[in-house]
Amino acid sequence: MIGDREYIGGRECFIVADKEPRVLLLHTLNVKERDLLARQVALTAAAMSGVPAVTAAFAIGDWKRELLPWPDPAISRVAGDGEHAGHTLRYITDELLPHLTTRYGDLPVALGGYSLGALFALWASTRSDRFDAIAAASPSVWITGWRDFAVANAFHAKYIYLSLGDREEHVRNTHIARVGDNIRFTHELLRQQLGHERCTLEWNDGGHFDDFAARNARAYAWCALRLSDHELP
């Protein structure tokens, strides 16, 4: 594990802070990602061209219960899944962000994650204007009803990064297979809403579970460089 481990608002968090940070990177952290957090932070720093940042990774205990924005039997049939994303969002806006702002100042914020964490970040951007950028690596936009939701709800972030593995849509599961068409649809929608320079869609080699630390790092670096007004390559 990496960084300072502490409990903020009763939730386990890991904080990695550079001196005089210019951006705040918020990251949903599940069990599988814990051991890869050090690698992700190092890769992000290397891709950010020296932009100092604070990374705050907050633990998610039950991935589907805490992040799924609405019920979908194709993802989970467990009662309560899809009903608690609002609680997670309120934790971020009412407890985590005020705590970090007091400590590091009023920094531009990028919220992100991987898979359901990325889907949650996109959804959160339609529910709050506290996030200046969204780092959505391989988001689970195959969730039932995503296209209708995206059309009906404006995204408040200034910048949004999307990515997907080029094999993710080539699966037998017909629900998951629609992720490719849905990510293309989302990208085009965001280009119309935010402008072509304020969103991007990156295609990675491989399937959903390939090297997600590096994919997360590229997502956060893209957001951080834009939020810090750094000269872009």
In this predicted model, which residue has the larger pLDDT, 32 or 135?
A: 135
Q: What is the pLDDT of residue 231?
A: 55
Chain segment 122-134, per-residue pLDDT in tens: 999 999 999 999 9
d(CA 24, CA 28): 13
Give the CATH number for residue 205: 3.40.50.1820
Residue 179 located in a structural domain: yes
Give the residue, 31 or 156, on which the prediction is more confident: 156
Structure tokens belonging to residue 72: 């979908």
For residues 64-82, average pLDDT: 93
Whole-angstrom Cα distance, residue 102 to residue 114? 27
Q: Which residue has the higher pLDDT, 34 or 156?
A: 156
Q: Answer whether residue 1 shows pLDDT above 80.
A: no
Look at residue 14 in the predicted model and tell me its pLDDT.
94
Segments forming the whole domain that contains residue 9: 4-227
Q: What is the pLDDT of residue 232?
A: 61
Is a pLDDT exceeding 70 seen at residue 59?
A: yes
Assigned domain for 22 exists: yes
Q: Is residue 232 part of a domain?
A: no
Determine the average pLDDT of the residues in 172-198. 96
Mean pLDDT of the chain: 93
Cα–Cα distances in Å, from 50 out to 44, 102, 142?
10, 24, 35
In this structure, the chain runs to a length of 233
The mean pLDDT of 166-186, rounded to a whole number, is: 96
Whether the pLDDT of residue 69 is over 80: the answer is: yes
pLDDT at 30: 80
99: tokens are 């705590």
Instruction: Copy the structure tokens of residue 74.
Output: 């194709």
Q: How far apart are CA 25 and CA 37, in angstroms?
A: 13
**How confident is residue 175, by pLDDT bands cut at 50, 70 and 90?**
very high
Q: Give me the number of domains the chain comprises.
A: 1
Asked if residue 217 belongs to a domain, the reply is yes
Q: What is the pTM of this model?
A: 0.95
Does the structure show a pLDDT above 90 at 4? no
Please indicate, yes or no, if residue 47 is contained in any of the structural domains.
yes
Cβ proximity of 166 and 154 under 8 Å? no
Residue 233 lies in a domain: no
Q: What is the DSSP letter of 108?
A: -
- Start-to-end CA distance of the chain, whole Å, equals 31
Residues 131-141 have a mean pLDDT of 97
